[in-house]
Structure 1
């Protein structure tokens, strides 16, 4: 009987250790650009994220896309994060050298510029605490480029 109970306890411990219900991602979720039905990756830059019971912060240079995304002038651009909960504070900046211009984002969408050219963007997101407005549960910067043609 003791052997049977020991075996049962061992199986329960193994199965409990193999579940992933409490596993958190060690990095912020991936963010995609969606336009004209196509999905494109962004580049993750600096972030602070909770990894289990530890906080992890990574500082990096400004994230830059390897290849700009070709779009039409004025195209609808969606910034998509497949994660729950969604960030509750977002900012989009157009980067021109050392100058940044903040752009409006409406329900995760914005419009591409009307003039041809290559445009670099930084998408900043925060998961702020709903009760304590000064407490962040995570934040991340994502970079991408659009080539309006």
Structure 2
């Protein structure tokens, strides 16, 4: 029997973007082009794409500071997900989870944390990848990209 875990990649990952750059990032072109690609618009920063096996995991925008958009502060964790009514995404235990951004330049630093109650645990990230836990459960994650 193939074990499954529920990975609420807070997003079920809560995407926390700390792209405090002086100019907005673009996807190899002008601002109008990047407004359509990579989840980036004049009203919001780009969101990461999160994939496990061939399943795309939904992502929810959380607090950010982003160029001309300035900063926005959102409630985090499970409260944000409940408000967005985002269903958990099932992934295989120990599955590879990949995080990427469709805009250029890509973030030079990216961090992932798993949230459990009021505690945040750093998750090792290698080349934009990490492994889902082997234990069955509901997991909340946050991504910070700079």
TM-score range, shorter chain: 0.5 to 0.7
Report the structure number with the largest CA radius of gyration: 1
| Structure with greater proportional strand content | 1
Q: Do residues 125 (structure 1) and 145 (structure 2) align? A: yes
Following superposition, the deviation at residue 22 of structure 1 comes to 4.7
Q: Do residues 91 (structure 1) and 95 (structure 2) align? A: no
Aligned to 2:95, which of 71, 75, 81?
75
Partners of 2:87 and 2:105 in 1: CA distance: 29
Unmatched tracts of structure 1, length 5 or more = 1-19, 127-149
CA RMSD of aligned residues (A): 1.8
Secondary structure of 2:67's match? strand
Structure 2 counterpart of 1:39 = 56
Structure 1 counterpart of 2:75 = 61
Following superposition, the deviation at residue 41 of structure 1 comes to 2.1
TM-score (norm 2): 0.65
Following superposition, the deviation at residue 38 of structure 1 comes to 2.1
Q: Relative contact order, CA 8 A, sep 6+: which one is greater?
A: 2
Partners of 1:111 and 1:21 in 2: CA distance: 35
Which aligned pairs between 1:102-117 and structure 2 lie closer than 5 A?
102-117=122-137
Unmatched tracts of structure 2, length 5 or more = 1-28, 36-40
CA distance 1:107–1:21, change in 2 (3 Å)? same
Indicate if the aligned counterparts of 1:31 and 1:41 stay in contact, CA closer than 8 A: no
Say how many residue pairs are matched. Answer: 104
Structure 2 counterpart of 1:9 = none
Partners of 2:103 and 2:88 in 1: CA distance: 25
TM-score (norm 1): 0.64
Secondary structure of 1:71's match? strand
Partners of 1:119 and 1:72 in 2: CA distance: 13
